[in-house]
Amino acid sequence: MDASNEMSIEGFSIALAAIAAVVISGVLRTCFSAPTSRGASLLQYLSFVMVGKSSLAIVAVVSSSYMIHILRKRLKHLPPGPASYPIIGQLLSAPLAVEHVGYQRLSQDLKSDIICLEFMGNTIVVLHSAQSASDLFEKCSSIYSDRTQSTMVAHEELTAFHARQVFHSRQLLSRLLKYDGQTISSEELGLELERLPAASILDATYGYEVTSSDDPFVKKVKQIDDNLIKSFLPTQFLVNVMPFLIHVPSWMPGTGWKQTAKEWRELKDSVVEEMYQWTRTQMAQGTAEPSIIRSIVESYANKGQEIAGEDEDNVKHAGISFFGAATDTSSGTLLAFVVAMLLYPETQRKAQDELDQVVGSQRLPEMSDLPRLPYLNNLLQELFRWQPVLPLGIPHTCSEDNSYRGYFIPKGAIVIGNAWAMSRDPNVYENPDIFNPDRFLDPSVPPVPAFGWGRRKCPGVHYAESLLSISIASILANFDISCAKDGQGRDKAPSAGASTDTLFYRPEPFSCVITPRSERHRHLVSEIPTQGGFVHSL
């Protein structure tokens, strides 16, 4: 359709809406005409008072606006969506909890892998197939991505920290040994697993060594991360559903979220500055360990420059952003790994057999062992598929009007890839609810894009994969993971489901038992140094 035809049709739609507004106004005036008889009811009289000229004008404008909206939608041909209502649009159909499952059901009901919802000024497009996500996020990344990959966390630089990842994975083994044969809750285990990526990231980013579970930096950054997750959830703040509320004055009732946002921002700014200045102080004293921050600052100095202004601000914030993304994704995947080992013990034994052949029982796994562990590598890929740690993906924004498969996607639309739905596509993955690493023996089976797409793909993907690989290899090489028992001595198997109201994957609460595989393995783990003992290789 050319521009002139589109303008004429749009003009016609506006004219038609204006006529409709006049008709609606007349009907309303007839319905709510002034009472003329003394016997008129009180309700009729009150109705007339409340629906005066100004009220009728508002109703007419709203009605005409809605008609314009409907006509424009039909003209532009947006992707399929659920039933729409005046004013609120499709708000009632938007899932507020377990969003990835809710959107998947909408997609199935509408029989379309691309769906659209409009409400309160928002246009949300959700993609449910790998093909549509690849077409938009990768082939049209200039339109659907507004940020490029951070050079700070490019994988070429992060591979220099492999020795430190090995060190931190072994620290996890030492901490797990204290639970030898005891029942451990998923909450306790989660804290131990969170410490692994937290310590690794703080070490790699700032050269800071975490020495306890109560480390002040870890606690502060974790609080910032929790705040960020809450800010994404529509169930936490009404402004996420009605963005126009951002313009409401802070003194009005119901705007407490503005004070919350102010406090969270102040905490984030103070911690960002504190952590960055800690590294700069260490550098000034000549005691700084190798780190990404140190490397970037020194690269400026080597060119006779001092990092400052926007460049310095970007480095400060990139460091803490990397921490949040890596900590949540890595710890979530490790928890999914434990659940999978409890529900599918045969996969645990198969991975351990492979480790016994390659590593043996006289030493701990090394990074150099990973290429010779194909089953373990497939196990990790199956974890990404079975429980995508970010099931609904990171939202993308469409930067200009675009057309895809005959559907109109307007500028400003929020476009989301539903990784969960893609991971459950029976046309791609046979028996998708079953955890089966062997499915990736078939080279035609694609991996799930667990780390996103295009320019918005997680820049730390290589770092996360290597940390997870060496950690899972180290755990399976030395420990057996088994179900806790109930009062009758029966296994208490965990659920394969996930907790609700969280941006990242977290399993439903469970308990388990972690035991060294043998006395030899117990002794091997007990000899791991509790701190130090590794070589920086940057």
462: Cβ–Cβ under 8 A, 6 or more apart, which residues?
A: 155, 158, 159
Direct distance between the N- and C-terminal alpha carbons of the chain, in angstroms, rounded to an integer: 58
Residues spanned by the domain of 481: 151-526
Q: Would you state the structure tokens that stand for residue 326, as one six-digit string? A: 């890596």
* pLDDT number for residue 511: 96
Q: Assess if residue 486 is contained within a domain.
A: yes
**Structural domain contains residue 404:** yes
* Whole-angstrom distance, CA of residue 186 vs CA of residue 168: 20
Question: Does residue 296 lie in a domain region?
Answer: yes
Instruction: Give the single-character DSSP code of 445.
Output: S
**414/518 same-domain check:** yes
**Quick one: pLDDT at residue 517?**
97
Q: Are residues 325 and 460 in the same domain?
A: yes
Residue ranges of the chain with per-residue pLDDT less than 50: 1-56, 58-59, 62, 147-159, 532-538
Residue 229's Cβ-count burial label (10 Å; 0-12, 13-18, 19+) is middle
CB 133 within 8 A of CB 454: no
Examine the domain organization and report whether 371 and 225 are in the same domain. Answer: yes
Q: What pLDDT score does 160 carry? A: 53
Domain-embedded: residue 499:
yes
Contact of 51 with 88, CB cutoff 8 Å: no
pTM beyond 0.85: the answer is: no
Q: CA 58, CA 89: separation in Å to the nearest integer?
A: 18
> Between the CA of residue 12 and those of 3, 5, 87, what are the distances in Å?
14, 10, 22
- pLDDT of 530 reads 64
Tokens 């969280």 label which residue? 502
**Where does a domain end: 23, 51, 76?**
76
The verdict on residue 126 lying in a domain is: no
What pLDDT score was predicted for residue 425?
93
Residue 119, phi then psi, degrees to nearest 5: -165, 145
Looking at the domain assignment, is residue 133 inside a domain? no
* Cβ-contact 441, 448 below 8 angstroms: no
How many domains is the chain built from? Answer: 2
pLDDT for 22 equals 45
> In the prediction, which pLDDT does 70 show?
54
DSSP labels, 78-99? PPP----BTTTBTGGGS--SSH
| pLDDT of the residue at 389 | 86
The residue among 76, 101, 134 that closes a domain is 76
Q: Is 458 annotated as a binding residue?
A: yes
Same domain, 168 and 35: no
Q: Which of 34, 54, 76 is the last residue of a domain?
A: 76
Q: Tell me if 103 is assigned to some domain.
A: no
pLDDT of residue 287: 93
Same domain, 171 and 35: no
Pair (319, 462) in one structural domain = yes
Task: Note whether 238 and 347 are same-domain residues.
Answer: yes
Continuous H helices in 207-255: 216-232
CATH code assigned at 277? 1.10.630.10
Regarding whether 486 and 350 lie in a shared domain, the answer is yes
The pLDDT value given to residue 242: 65
Helices H / strands E in the chain, number of each: 18, 10
Per-residue confidence (pLDDT) for residue 240, from 0 to 100: 64
In a domain, 227, yes or no: yes
